[in-house]
Amino acid sequence: MRGPHNIIRLIRTGATLERTGAMNVVLDAFEAPAPLRFVAHALGWPFKWLGYKGDPDMPPATRALTALGPAYIKFGQVLSTRPDVVGDDLAQQLRVLQDKLPPFSKAEAMAEVEKELGVPVDQLFSEFSEPIAAASIAQVHRARLADTGQDVAVKVLRPGIEKAFKKDVDAFYFAARIVDLFAPGARRLRPMDVIEHFDGVVQGELDLRLESAAASEFAANTVNDAGFQLPPILWNLSARRVMTLGWADGAPLGDNDALDAAGHDRRALGERVLSLFLNHALRDGYFHADMHQGNLKVAPNGDIIAYDFGIMGHIDEYTRRVYAEILFGFIRRDYKRVAEVHFEAGYVPANRDVDEFARALRAVGEPIFGMDADHISMGRLLNYLFEVTERFGMETRTELILLQRTMVVVEGVARSLDPRINIWEVAHPVVEDYIKGSIGPRAIASDLFTVAKVLARFGPRLPALVEQALIAQSNPKDASDTGFTSRWKPALIGVGVGAAIAAIISQVI
């Protein structure tokens, strides 16, 4: 960690926050204690003249982050997914943070492609356009394959972006340590954890092979989803700093006039966006976590096309079942069951009163169900739910925060297509189908089969396990020599018997 560089960068950051009026906005959002506010203003106010001016038409926070450059823009975008850290108001501002930056030249992009793929660009592409979109980390060009004539999109990382991000992330870690040192009361915000999360996200986006892999996995999960398609990844033309995928032809999902002119049913599109997202989150546990209009198109045949797979969300099977039961309980207005699910999952401490919690949940659900259909919001419901569960001692679950944030975005997309969409009517069949498949008799049989397969792996080791168990029983000294003690005998015999039964079950099933 380079101290002088970090100090200079933090002074410039503080000066920019002061100059743009964002300092107090950020400190208030983090509920920063007095010592941290003192240090922040001390780093900013005396050097205000060193700060970047930014675009005065932007809100203070987005103005400051945009002026500070790519790493800060990306940091703001990542924080927009964490209202548990920055608060709802600032998260809302950061969601509209734009990272449209001046593009680098076509010649530089072609040089990067040639360097990464090891072949002259004119041998790969018969056409290679000027940049059509430029963001904080990469930019996109439209090209045509020389051998097949297929139109493709070529995403290229900015030259030197890895080094630039490393310098700024280094400064972010330095700032987090200052927070820990000067403001112990702010440790509840877990500044080091926040920076580590950001660092992980950025490292994933700085290797386009990982984004290609995410797109490939997403495509495999959704291959049978009607009315949905993804541009295919061209692995032979992709590398760490270059990603090539099929060109997505279609109308932007945010352009209602274009959709109407093409004859698309906007209400049907809105309902499909919602149901697709819920299916991906519940059925697959792997969802596009940046499903705003800028990353969605509508093909001429009416299919929804998604692209840009830099931010993906993952939820494990158990959490998906809990989440589905919670949603289904709210849909049926069965607040007692929703409360019980929270206790069964261990989300709420067992020493709390389940009936009291159920009443608190009723206070969350009933006002929302009393709204008109065009005001009902599942994202708002989840937001209120997190507020209540926090009061009852539930710890923050990052994966659910990302899910809730994405749900808000998807609802916004759906409502921009048709403000009268009833979120619950769309969600009900998706959640109900998942409940039937994951919690009913079929799910129990599937779980037993999975357990049997896992236990069956001990099958080939059964003779040795049984022999060692017998040795442990007849000669404790030999057992200790081989790593066994008498206290493990019952468990070992149980594993052996269980493995034998599992092996038989797995063969029968």
**Same domain flag for 220 and 184:** no
pLDDT score recorded for residue 495: 47
- Phi/psi region, residue 80 (left: phi>0; alpha: psi -120 to 50; beta: rest), is alpha
More confident residue, 433 or 490: 433
| 310-356 pLDDT per residue, tens | 888 888 888 888 888 887 888 788 999 989 988 888 888 888 899 99
**Same domain flag for 284 and 266:** yes
Single residue among 419, 439, 459 that ends a domain in this structure: 439
| 462-480 pLDDT per residue, tens | 677 677 777 776 665 554 4
**First-last CA distance in the chain:** 57
- Which residues, other chains included, contact 245 with Cβ-Cβ below 8 Å and sequence gap of 6+? 152, 153, 155, 212, 215, 231, 232, 233, 234, 238, 307
Q: Above 60 in pLDDT, residue 284?
A: yes
pLDDT score recorded for residue 286: 94
**Same domain flag for 176 and 68:** yes
**Same domain flag for 283 and 331:** yes
What average pLDDT does range 16-27 have in this prediction? 82
| 220 token code pair | 């495999």
**Same domain flag for 395 and 490:** no
- With CA atoms as reference, report the closest residue to 404 among 390, 391, 392: 390
Task: Classify residue 173 as exposed, middle or buried by CB count within 10 Å of its CB (0-12, 13-18, 19+).
Answer: middle
pLDDT score recorded for residue 183: 60
**Looking at this protein, which amino acid is placed at residue 303?**
D
Q: How many percent of the chain have pLDDT more than 90? A: 28
CA distance 14 to 32: 15
Q: Above 60 in pLDDT, residue 485?
A: no
- Helical segments of 332-461, H only: 335-344, 354-369, 378-391, 398-417, 423-439, 441-456
pLDDT score recorded for residue 336: 92
CB 140 within 8 A of CB 154: yes
Domain containing residue 113: CATH number: 3.30.200.20
Known catalytic residue: 308? no
Q: Above 70 in pLDDT, residue 423?
A: yes
Distance from the Cα of residue 126 to its chain's centroid? 37
Tokens 């659910």 correspond to 400
CB 279 within 8 A of CB 431: no
Q: Rounding to the nearest 10 degrees, give the CA dihedral for residues 446, 447, 448, 450.
A: 90
**Same domain flag for 194 and 339:** no
Which contiguous run of DSSP H or E holds residue 65?
Answer: helix 60-68
Q: Above 50 in pLDDT, residue 359?
A: yes
Which contiguous run of DSSP H or E holds residue 140?
Answer: strand 138-145
CA distance 143 to 495: 59
If you average pLDDT over every residue of the chain, what do you get?
A: 80
| Catalytic residue (choose from 290, 372, 374, 433) | 290
Phi, psi for 144 (deg, rounded to 5): -130, 130
**Same domain flag for 140 and 276:** no
Question: How many CB atoms neighbour CB 285 within 10 A?
Answer: 18
**Same domain flag for 235 and 195:** no
**Same domain flag for 334 and 469:** no
pLDDT score recorded for residue 459: 62
Q: Above 80 in pLDDT, residue 483?
A: no
pLDDT score recorded for residue 120: 93
- Which residues, other chains included, contact 58 with Cβ-Cβ below 8 Å and sequence gap of 6+? 66
CB 472 within 8 A of CB 486: yes
Tokens 């509508």 correspond to 298
- With CA atoms as reference, report the closest residue to 382 among 408, 347, 412, 344: 408
Question: How many CB atoms neighbour CB 252 within 10 A?
Answer: 14
| 444-468 pLDDT per residue, tens | 666 666 666 666 666 666 677 677 7
Range picked from 358-362, 391-395, 492-496 for highest mean pLDDT: 358-362
CA distance 485 to 472: 7
| 145 token code pair | 């394959």
**Same domain flag for 27 and 172:** yes
Single residue among 412, 439, 466 that ends a domain in this structure: 439
Single residue among 179, 204, 229 that ends a domain in this structure: 204
- With CA atoms as reference, report the closest residue to 259 among 210, 288, 290, 298: 298
pLDDT score recorded for residue 365: 80
| 361-396 pLDDT per residue, tens | 888 888 776 666 566 666 667 777 777 777 787 766
More confident residue, 247 or 383: 247
Identify the domain containing residue 343 by its residue range.
Answer: 249-439
Tokens 């072609």 correspond to 110
Q: Rounding to the nearest 10 degrees, give the CA dihedral for residues 342, 346, 352, 356.
A: 0
| 178 token code pair | 């200052």
**Confidence bin at 305 (pLDDT 50/70/90):** very high
| 89-141 pLDDT per residue, tens | 777 777 666 556 788 999 999 999 999 999 999 999 999 999 998 888 899 99
Task: Classify residue 24 as exposed, middle or buried by CB count within 10 Å of its CB (0-12, 13-18, 19+).
Answer: middle
- Phi/psi region, residue 393 (left: phi>0; alpha: psi -120 to 50; beta: rest), is left
Domain count, the chain: 4
CA distance 471 to 143: 70
The Cα angle at residue 55 between residues 101 and 33, in degrees rounded to 5: 105
pLDDT score recorded for residue 488: 45
**Same domain flag for 65 and 148:** no
| 168-192 pLDDT per residue, tens | 888 888 888 877 776 655 555 567 7
**Same domain flag for 348 and 305:** yes
pLDDT score recorded for residue 185: 55
| 54-84 pLDDT per residue, tens | 888 888 888 888 888 888 888 887 777 666 6
